[in-house]
Amino acid sequence: MNKKTVKTETWRDNYKIHSYEVDVNGRATFPALCRFMQESAWNHAEHLEFGFSHLMKYHLVWVLYRQLVKMYAFPLWGQSVTVETWPAARDRLYYFRDFRIWGEKEDLLGEAATSWFVIDIEKRLPQRTDAFFKMKVPDNIERVFAEKPGKLKKVDFAAADALTTVKYSDLDVNGHVNNVKFIDWILDSHEEEFLKTHLLTEFEINYLSEAKCGERVLAAKTPLNDMSFQQALIRENDAEEYCRAKTLWHKIK
């Protein structure tokens, strides 16, 4: 494979908030905003010529590994947002990408940092980043947070509740559950009244294993305090964790 040298640059996409992307209070949902960021990451990678269509030629695909999102305000139904993203760094195995979400008045609505790696879809093995592209990132590149998304510790939960069965409609182009679907499920593990009266303002997740069609998903959570939880999604048949997450909420006034 010919390695491509790419320049660091910023990419921007504009998205309108549709009726099917808001909650009962008319605010854009957290998963919808994460889908926008995923789409912009895909668009930028394609533009830089190391996106899905380029890596698939070599039986490689991108996998989101860790994600930290902080929301400061939520756009409303009918409003538009701009997602800004750029390559923030890379090391031997991981590729780091940062995001900002801007409102219609160029007000900062949210920020996110993500870690990615590439796997060989036949061998299911991670690949070194220098195997498929060379990316020069200036030492003074802007980062949205001081630290990269970190490793969340394993928690021994007292109980896990049956949540859902993975369906065909949950799968993405790689044939497994899309990462944002995990966020949907983590939110669904909370009570309806809690979701109606609280906003998810900070979300950190480690994606640990693939979820495939037909598997039964369990959800577990333990409170850290009234507004914060450690959470996990677990495969029923072998208790393997799909992901670990930490959520921070604010009560709607």
Please list the pLDDT of the chain residue by residue as tens digits (253 residues).
455 545 558 899 999 999 999 999 999 999 999 999 999 999 998 888 777 777 778 778 888 999 999 999 999 999 999 999 998 888 888 889 999 999 999 999 999 999 998 888 787 878 787 776 666 666 678 899 988 889 999 988 888 999 999 999 999 887 889 999 999 999 999 999 999 999 999 999 999 999 999 999 999 999 999 899 999 999 999 999 999 999 999 999 8
Reference 170, options 228, 117, 109, 213; nearest CA is 213
Q: What does the pLDDT read at residue 137?
A: 66
> Any idea what the Cα angle at residue 23 is, between residues 17 and 27, rounded to 5°?
50
* 9/114 same-domain check: yes
Q: What does the pLDDT read at residue 139?
A: 67
* 129/46 same-domain check: yes
CB-based contact 217:167 (threshold 8 Å):
no
Does some domain include residue 141?
no
* 110/202 same-domain check: no
Q: What is the pLDDT of residues 119-129, one digit of tens each?
A: 887 878 787 87
* 107/169 same-domain check: no
The one-letter amino acid at 165: T
* 167/121 same-domain check: no
Does some domain include residue 235?
yes
* 90/184 same-domain check: no
* 177/130 same-domain check: no
Instruction: Indicate the residue among 102, 136, 170 that finishes a domain.
Output: 136
Q: What does the pLDDT read at residue 140?
A: 73
Q: What does the pLDDT read at residue 130?
A: 74
CB-based contact 203:183 (threshold 8 Å):
yes
Domain of 17, CATH number, reads 3.10.129.10
Does some domain include residue 166?
yes
The one-letter amino acid at 240: E
Domain residue limits at 213: 161-251
CA end-to-end span of the chain, whole Å? 55
* DSSP designation for 151: P
Does some domain include residue 208?
yes
What span, in angstroms and rounded, lies between the C-alpha atoms of 131 and 110? 33
Does some domain include residue 110?
yes
Does some domain include residue 150?
no
Does some domain include residue 152?
no
What span, in angstroms and rounded, lies between the C-alpha atoms of 10 and 214? 39
Q: What is the DSSP string of 170-198?
A: GB-TTSSB-HHHHHHHHHHTS-HHHHHHE
Q: What does the pLDDT read at residue 90?
A: 81
* 124/20 same-domain check: yes
* 24/132 same-domain check: yes
What span, in angstroms and rounded, lies between the C-alpha atoms of 158 and 252? 29
The reported pTM is 0.90
* 174/113 same-domain check: no
* 96/177 same-domain check: no
Q: What does the pLDDT read at residue 135?
A: 65
Does some domain include residue 155?
no
Q: What does the pLDDT read at residue 63?
A: 86
Q: How many domains are contained in the chain?
A: 2
* 129/200 same-domain check: no
